[in-house]
Amino acid sequence: MSENIIKSDEVREYLRQQEGREVTLDSIRSEFGVSRGTKSFDAVRNIMYQFAQQRTVKPVGKRSGVYKVLVQVQPVKVFGQEHKSGLFNLVFPKDRDTEMEFSFAEDVVIREGDLILIAGVSNYGKTAIAMNFLAENIESSPVLLGNEFTSSDGQPTPRFVSRLESMDWVKWVNGTGEDKFTLLPVMSDYPEYIVKDRINILDWVNIETGEHYQIGTLLSEIKRAVGKGVGVAVIQKSEYATAGRGGQFTKDFADLELLIDKHGEMESRLTIGKCKESTKSLTGKSWAFGIFQGVKLVNIREVKKCKRCYGKNDSCPDCNGLGWVDK
Ligand SMILES: [Zn+2]
């Protein structure tokens, strides 16, 4: 009986399912039931040699018989096909008294797959801003992840529940009494749990090892995972810093970066740290606001640095030493 020799087409078909992974001569032989001493045994080596020449696979390091199966990339056509705008209708937090969004909202362009970063000092309202993104977009069924929302026993944190109750202008449940949002008890490995094509709110994102340069990688994975949705991620920021912890690494992947600082003793200030796309220049602009009952944003107005004293004169007639005046 004549022996059937393994064909390169069969191996190619198998490799197509292994794109991005490593294979070995032995793993291929075992996949096809090829035993030592047959003609196919040597054929596998020859076939893989050919594929390496064609750049379907790439030998890994100096180990012999180990290959990385390359992900095959096809050119993407630009002209001659219809384009979708990819615009994402994200509603920004509103002033409870005026029902108006932060005024930059009308100038920011948000597209599917964008990442909004809220980088703030402790206790000055970054969670309030995140909660207001949740509230204003509740009809889009947002997803919530992070330790502000659930505790280690997998239950909603009392603080989260109390915030929901304070936001009495929002209908949190549908007609049958079920949550309009999806709460996931996830506190690490966020990219694996992001729900694709939805608004995913992460409060907050931490690098446990303290290796802050890794936050860039993490944020890029989150961005990829949201698909046609949008990511809203909260991170910590040191006082006076112009970026979140992780510095430039955090900025790189943000499409819109909102920096939250304290504004005087009672209020908070939101500054646009980065805005990738807008109809007018927004970077560096600031808005002050008060927070009532932990979640209600009030008295939102654009502010600018005091040009008379730059915050250096406690008895400055313009700013009383705050360093900021209403615009
Ligand atoms: Zn002043």
Distance 264 CA to ligand 1 centre (A): 13
Kindly state whether residue 81 falls inside one of the protein's structural domains: no
What pLDDT is attached to residue 207? Answer: 66
What pLDDT is attached to residue 327? Answer: 92
For residue 1, pLDDT beyond 60: no
Q: What's 24's domain CATH number?
A: 1.10.10
Distance 304 CA to ligand 1 centre (A): 11
Kindly state whether residue 216 falls inside one of the protein's structural domains: yes
Beta strands in the chain, from DSSP E residues, in sequence order: 22-24, 57-59, 66-69, 115-120, 143-145, 182-184, 199-203, 230-236, 256-263, 267-275, 286-292, 296-305, 324-326
Per-residue pLDDT band for 76 (boundaries 50, 70, 90) equals: confident
Transcribe 230-265 into DSSP letters.
EEEEEEE--TT-SS-TTTHHHHHH-SEEEEEEEETT
Task: Give the mean model confidence (pLDDT) for residues 102-119.
Answer: 96
Query: Is residue 159 located within the same domain as residue 59?
Result: no
Distance 318 CA to ligand 1 centre (A): 5
- Decide: residue 24, CB within 10 A, 0-12 exposed, 13-18 middle, 19+ buried: middle
Query: Is residue 63 located within the same domain as residue 195?
Result: no
Query: Is residue 123 located within the same domain as residue 195?
Result: yes
What pLDDT is attached to residue 59? Answer: 92
What pLDDT is attached to residue 178? Answer: 96
What pLDDT is attached to residue 79? Answer: 84
Distance 260 CA to ligand 1 centre (A): 21
Query: Is residue 59 located within the same domain as residue 143?
Result: no
For residue 251, pLDDT beyond 90: no
Kindly state whether residue 61 falls inside one of the protein's structural domains: yes
For residue 208, pLDDT beyond 80: no
Distance 306 CA to ligand 1 centre (A): 5
Distance 323 CA to ligand 1 centre (A): 5
Query: Is residue 54 located within the same domain as residue 107?
Result: no
Return the closest-CA partner of residue 119 out of 258, 226, 242.
Answer: 258
Kindly state whether residue 313 falls inside one of the protein's structural domains: no
pLDDT in tens, 254-263: 999 999 999 9
Distance 94 CA to ligand 1 centre (A): 28
**DSSP state at residue 292:** E
Q: Mean pLDDT of all residues in the chain?
A: 92
Collapsing DSSP to helix, strand or coil, 53 comes out as helix
Q: How many domains does the chain have?
A: 2
Query: Is residue 217 located within the same domain as residue 133?
Result: yes
**Encoded amino acid at 256, one letter:** L
Boundaries of domain holding 227: 103-302
Query: Is residue 109 located within the same domain as residue 211?
Result: yes
**Higher-confidence residue: 188 or 48?**
48
Query: Is residue 60 located within the same domain as residue 116?
Result: no
Kindly state whether residue 93 falls inside one of the protein's structural domains: no
In this prediction the pTM is 0.78
Distance 315 CA to ligand 1 centre (A): 8
Cα–Cα distance for residue pair 325/327, rounded to 1 Å: 6
Kindly state whether residue 211 falls inside one of the protein's structural domains: yes
pLDDT in tens, 139-156: 999 999 999 999 999 999
The distance of Cα 93 from the centroid of its chain, to the nearest Å, equals: 18
Please answer whether residues 215 and 115 qualify as being in contact, where contact means their C-beta atoms are separated by less than 8 angstroms. no
For residue 2, pLDDT beyond 60: no
Distance 62 CA to ligand 1 centre (A): 66
What crossing angle do the helices spanning 8-16 and 39-53 adopt, rounded to 10°? 60
What pLDDT is attached to residue 256? Answer: 96
Q: Which residues pair with 68 in a beta bridge?
A: 22, 58
Cα–Cα distance for residue pair 147/203, rounded to 1 Å: 7
What pLDDT is attached to residue 3? Answer: 65
Distance 259 CA to ligand 1 centre (A): 22
Kindly state whether residue 112 falls inside one of the protein's structural domains: yes
Please answer whether residues 113 and 277 qualify as being in contact, where contact means their C-beta atoms are separated by less than 8 angstroms. no
Range in 108-112, 228-232, 239-243 with the lowest mean pLDDT? 239-243
What pLDDT is attached to residue 94? Answer: 98
Q: What's 208's domain CATH number?
A: 3.40.50.300
Query: Is residue 211 located within the same domain as residue 63?
Result: no
Ligand 1 ion: Cβ-proximal residues, 5 Å cutoff: 306, 308-309, 316, 318-319
Query: Is residue 146 located within the same domain as residue 295?
Result: yes
**DSSP state at residue 4:** P
Count Cα neighbours of 262 within 13 Å in the Cβ-side half-sphere: 10
Range in 110-114, 175-179, 234-238, 290-294 with the lowest mean pLDDT? 234-238
Query: Is residue 224 located within the same domain as residue 119?
Result: yes
Kindly state whether residue 324 falls inside one of the protein's structural domains: no
Query: Is residue 161 located within the same domain as residue 53?
Result: no
Collapsing DSSP to helix, strand or coil, 128 comes out as helix
